[in-house]
Structure 1
Amino acid sequence: MVDFVGRRHEMATLERELQKVTAGVGGERPGRCVMLRGRRRVGKSRLVERFAERSGAPFLFYAATGASPADDLARLARDAQVSTLPSAGLVAAARPQSWDDAFDVLAAALPTDRAGVLVIDEVPYLMDPDGAFEGMLQRAWDRVLETKPVLLILIGSDLSMMEALNSYGRPFHQRGREMVLGPLNPAEVGQMLGLGPAEAFDAALVTGGLPLICAEWPHGAGLWDFLGEALSDPVSALLVSAERSLAAEFPPQAQARAVLAAVGSGERTFTNIARAAGGIGATPLQRSLELLMEKRIVAGELPVSLRPSKDRRYRVTDPYLRLWLHLLGPSMDEIERGRGDLTLARIRENWTSWRGRAVEPLIREALARMLPDGQLPAARVVGGYWTRTNDVEIDVVGADRAPVAKELLFVGSIKWLEQAPFDRRDLAALLRHRAALTDQPLPVVAVSRSGVDCQGLDAVYGPGDLLAAWPL
């Protein structure tokens, strides 16, 4: 199934947790809990559904809706009716009026002689500001659920709220194992779509590694064929996934949406974001950026160097969302009029500059994963360096820590073009910028999509080298 390309590790983790529950049947506290978080549409719910179906254990899968508490509890009763728990009828018959009551009846419905699985999806919808739900969950776990042979799986897309659920001082602290499900990485995207290394990186950028979008990419098809087909369908996953995720994250009039749109359009500095967001004031802009960073939608990064800097740059963390904000979302009117060809032409015009910036975080992640490799040492941090005026900008800086390093390990330049290899002019520019960063003769690295046409480099990496950073 395409849903689970690259999900073997996560599936194995859930299977091990269930085996521990099975081994504890008859014991005092055999129950175990897993808290699974990840951005919307990465396949969390489908992964857990498939795991539960494969396990052979009786299970109940409940998904909160974000409606009223009464509606969510009524949904629990309905989901219980279609579950495989042997005594699930108790939940439907009881019609609990509070989560305290619901957890009691769920515990009564769980088997005692074999392991069962209880899944609560979209947990952040149930979490209220005063922590009442978390308190009820903690009491139910400590009092009854943990005494049952149950694997409780809590799923959520709001990363900050799911992290808070297990944080120090919160009622459910240290009662479950945390798991993170990320998007498909470039190697997994390439394997799923039948693409070569360079094309796999392009597909990873456009789809964001979201399985739902990847599933609409014809096997072996090129980037422009896929885009042409997706842009001809206003309800394709490529076009609707971002809007649905944003609608779930923010109210329609949220100021953070305007700030996110400004960052997504390519603005990176505080001043330029404020201008692009309609002249927003410094204090509300700071609050919006903090909210976006808390939700892991935006990253605020500082240059890596031996000296402190306040020149923070902002970027949208998901490359697919960045593409949607910059080129797809603003074009929805013409796409809905059947003129996706105009949008496709605009993407072609902007593709080289957009991709050149968007691919940098993926390349830095690949280098951090693959080092040391005989050419370069291991680096705890692989970031970048820039000055306020951008007269010096280094794509890759390896260091022992960030943003203020004790030791710099290497510098590098990224040239991600189809027809132009990394050449002596690129090397000369890298050496000039290295001299502005440090007087140390740090190793110099070229990362190039189209190879290298010069001497004097300490390490060279192409798409195939980078893709190997994510073993399948």
Structure 2
Amino acid sequence: MTFYDRNDELAALDTAFGSPDHEFYVVYGRRRVGKTELLKEFCTSRPHIYFLAAQEAEHRQREKFVEQVADGFSDRIPRIDGWDDAFEYLGEKLASERRVVVIDEFPYLVDENDSVPSYVQAFVDEQLQHTDSMLVLCGSSVSTMESEVLGHESPLYGRRTGQIDLQPFSFQQARDVISYDIVDAIRSYSVTGGTPLYLTLFDYDRTLAENIRSRVLSPTALLYNEPEFLLRTELRTPARYMSILEAVALGHTTPNDISGATGVDPGPLSKYLQTLRRLRLIDRDVPVTASGQKSKRSRYRVADEFLRFWFRYMEPNRSSIEEAPTVVFDGTIEPDLPTHVATTYEEVCQEAVWEAVRCGDIDPYAKVGRWWYGEEEIDIVGLAPDDDRILLAECKWTADPVGHALVKSLRSKAESVRWGSGNREEQFALFSKSGFVDGLEDELDDSWSLFGLDDLERLFRPASQAYESPDS
């Protein structure tokens, strides 16, 4: 399988390994985001020990770890009584031979013995720091990694020399995988999101409809029960969380709306929402002009496009999909898909703003996001406080070209955005799937920027280059 992107992360690991001193890296991020593939790619051309922890009894975890270390040094397996002995054995071997040591799914070790971080701390302080080897702790349980490895209360706090919080691919990164034209690339991204595994499951020689039917709607497909599987690996009782995710995916975005849709009282709901945020399954947004995260105008959204697709279409129609998946696709999913994609398109356009800034197509902004107040909303607002400049933009995923009505509407809504001075500079942008009415661009002054599909194609041109290690 081709290894896509992750050039920055691999370069950081390369630099760390090239250091003459010891290195202790922490790699974490939610499941399926590609942490293991990243580390395997990094280890390929380097002497390494790779240990994948499993959910099993502590003594078996320890035995397998020691076996892996012994195998990595072509040594006989010693008798080990505890984790302190296991890490001491590893330190003795690293004293004479340089290695990258990866412990993947580290939280599984902590689940069986919460003293393991203390044993790792002793290993780092007393042995690893006297070598030029590299230790990498990796985990999918973000909460465990942040509390037991990175947190202030952790014995390991302050020991790491670097960390990578691995994120799903942006649309720009995913574009290197999705070989459709720009329209179908956005539509496809609205289904798979930026999770590398999901992206590579699609066959881009087939239509998007065929991929949805075979890769998502088929009961034998990996993605058919994927969100439920992910929740069950993180939560003992996922049913309530699934109902909340479904409500948010269907457009209930405020706490009151979510409470009404799910029947969960506001008090308990806040704890459920906090857990889902901790698992990185939902995000909490506030208007870009709000002073802080305590704003009462918060909204929630499903943090991943595939999860949003699944909870919008799969979860409410599970019984029907079991009986007649084609009927569900033709009658429910396909007719509504443009509405679903429109939300993804706004995210893509927001990313395009940053790309346009990078390319010099528009002026720079320090902050970009959505804005709303009461019934009024603006898809994208960019703020440049140092220059007293604001960007106001709308995104239209429609079959008709954008015309003068949207220009008039955006100008009117700009007056409601209370930010900056009375003499602020206002810039405007329009993004349109179907282009613009004839003559519109000529009638607008230099404060307006128009972005059609050709412009997005240019901004998101695929890199089409897989990473090659400098040592390979």
TM-score, normalized by the shorter chain, greater than 0.5: yes
In structure 2, distance between residues paired with 1:334 and 1:306: 43
Q: Which of 125, 128, 137 is equivalent to 1:142?
A: 125
| Residue matched to 1:162 | 145
| Residue matched to 2:266 | 282
| Residue matched to 1:11 | 10
| Residue matched to 2:449 | 459
- How much does 1:469 deviate? 5.6
- Provide closer, same or farther for how the CA distance between residues 441 and 184 of structure 1 changes in structure 2, counting only shifts above 3 A: closer
Which TM-score applies when normalising by structure 2? Answer: 0.86
The code of the aligned residue for 2:7 comes to: R
- Superposed CA RMSD in Å reads 2.8
- How much does 1:323 deviate? 0.8
**SS at 2:393's partner residue?**
strand
**SS at 1:420's partner residue?**
coil
Q: Which of 401, 418, 433 is equivalent to 2:413?
A: 433
**SS at 1:360's partner residue?**
helix
- How much does 1:471 deviate? 6.9
Q: State yes or no: 1:101 paired with 2:85.
A: yes
The code of the aligned residue for 1:427 comes to: V
| Residue matched to 1:249 | 234
Unmatched tracts of structure 2, length 5 or more: 464-472
Greater RCO, 1 or 2 (C-alpha within 8 Å, sep 6+): 2
Q: Which of 365, 387, 402 is equivalent to 1:422?
A: 402
Unmatched tracts of structure 1, length 5 or more: 25-29
- How much does 1:357 deviate? 1.8
| Cα pair 1:400 1:408 within 8 Å, conserved | yes
- Provide closer, same or farther for how the CA distance between residues 294 and 375 of structure 1 changes in structure 2, counting only shifts above 3 A: same
- How much does 1:141 deviate? 0.8
- Provide closer, same or farther for how the CA distance between residues 180 and 139 of structure 1 changes in structure 2, counting only shifts above 3 A: same
| Cα pair 1:306 1:406 within 8 Å, conserved | no
- How much does 1:375 deviate? 4.6
In structure 2, distance between residues paired with 1:205 and 1:127: 36
In structure 2, distance between residues paired with 1:318 and 1:47: 20
In structure 2, distance between residues paired with 1:16 and 1:374: 30
- Provide closer, same or farther for how the CA distance between residues 451 and 11 of structure 1 changes in structure 2, counting only shifts above 3 A: same
Q: Which of 85, 105, 125 is equivalent to 2:108?
A: 125
| Residue matched to 1:27 | none
| Cα pair 1:377 1:409 within 8 Å, conserved | no
In structure 1, distance between residues paired with 2:403 and 2:321: 40
In structure 1, distance between residues paired with 2:387 and 2:140: 36
Which TM-score applies when normalising by structure 1? Answer: 0.86
In structure 1, distance between residues paired with 2:141 and 2:366: 27
In structure 2, distance between residues paired with 1:328 and 1:74: 42
Count of residue correspondences? 448
The code of the aligned residue for 1:354 comes to: H
- How much does 1:281 deviate? 1.4
1:45-88 C-alpha deviation (Å, 9 max, x unpaired): 12212321222x1x22212223342343244245457x53333x
| Residue matched to 2:275 | 291
| Residue matched to 2:466 | none
The code of the aligned residue for 1:284 comes to: P
**SS at 2:177's partner residue?**
helix
1:100-137 C-alpha deviation (Å, 9 max, x unpaired): 22211222343614x21211111223335996322221
| Cα pair 2:95 2:130 within 8 Å, conserved | no
The code of the aligned residue for 1:101 comes to: D
In structure 2, distance between residues paired with 1:340 and 1:104: 59
| Cα pair 1:207 1:213 within 8 Å, conserved | yes
Which stretches of structure 1, 4 residues or longer, exceed 6 Å deviation after superposition? Answer: none
| Residue matched to 2:390 | 409
For 1:300-339, list aligned pairs within 5 A.
Answer: 300-305=284-289, 309-337=295-323, 339=325
| Cα pair 1:31 1:146 within 8 Å, conserved | yes
